[in-house]
Each structure stands twice: as C-alpha cells, then as structure tokens.
Amino acid sequence: MIKTGLAFLVATLSGLIPVINIEVYLVGAVVAFDDGALVAMATAAGLGQTLGKLPYYYVGRGSLSTPWLRRRAATPGKWVLRAARWRQKAEKRPVWGMGLVALSSFASVPPFMVVSVLAGVVRMNPWWFFVITFITRTARLLIVVLAPALVLA
C-alpha cells in the first residue's frame, strides 16, 4: 500500500515538474516488487500523472483571459492565426483533439505538457481530457513496468 501511494505521489510530482521522471522510478521498482504490486503502482502512477497534468490544462483554459494575451490577440500575428486554426479544427472535429491528447499522453509526441495546455486553450471537455489522459498514461506505465518484468522472468 505504501509503495502504491509513493508511486502516486512521485507521479503527481512528475506530472507537475517535468524533470522528475516516473518511468525511471517505476523501472527501478521492477526489480523489487512482484507483478501485482507493479500493476497497482502503474495504475496509481497513471492517476497521479493525470492529476499532475490538470493544472496545465487549466492554465491553458484560463490563459485566454489574461490582459497580456488579450493585447496580443488584438494585434494579429502568426501565433494568433495558428492558435485559431487549431481551435477551429478541434471544435469542428473533437475526435481529432481527443486523438492528439491520446497520442501525446501515450507516446509523449508531441510533448504532453504542451498538448495539455493546448487542450485547455481549445476548451476540450475536462472530463474527456481526464479520462483519455488516465487511460493512455496508465497503459504507457503498465508497459513500462510489465515489459521489463517479462524479460527478467
């Protein structure tokens, strides 16, 4: 139970602070714990990572109302047009936005921290963001812990 809680804590911190790496932490756990504990740790870490990315989502969601960005939006530039295109695409095709979140969450390409902010900017439904992130991060972390365990077995 303590190891699962610790995995959750490290994962939450790693979701907030990019230099903390939950994958390295979990790979270290592979040599110390059995598969059942690793599955519980990976699932807790998936939840922690999801909660750690939610603040980035909400920064993106609320950043459009800041005075600095309102002034920038009043003077059209390349980034304003690009953000408007992304927003239109995500609003017209929500599945496209969900797919981008899923791909980024699972493979970290494009970087998930950036995509988390973008999901907030385009006003993706926060529950969809949460569910997609939890499922794909947990799947990624299960692969991280179970693949080495299969090799070592």
> pLDDT digit of tens for each residue in the chain (153 aa)?
899 999 999 999 999 998 999 999 999 998 888 888 999 999 999 999 999 999 889 888 885 455 544 554 455 566 556 667 777 777 788 888 899 899 999 999 888 988 888 888 888 999 999 999 999 999 999 999 999 867 766
Global pTM reads: 0.83
- Return the number of other C-beta atoms located less than 10 Å from residue 150's C-beta: 8
Helix (H) or strand (E) holding 60: helix 35-62
Chain centroid to CA 113: 6
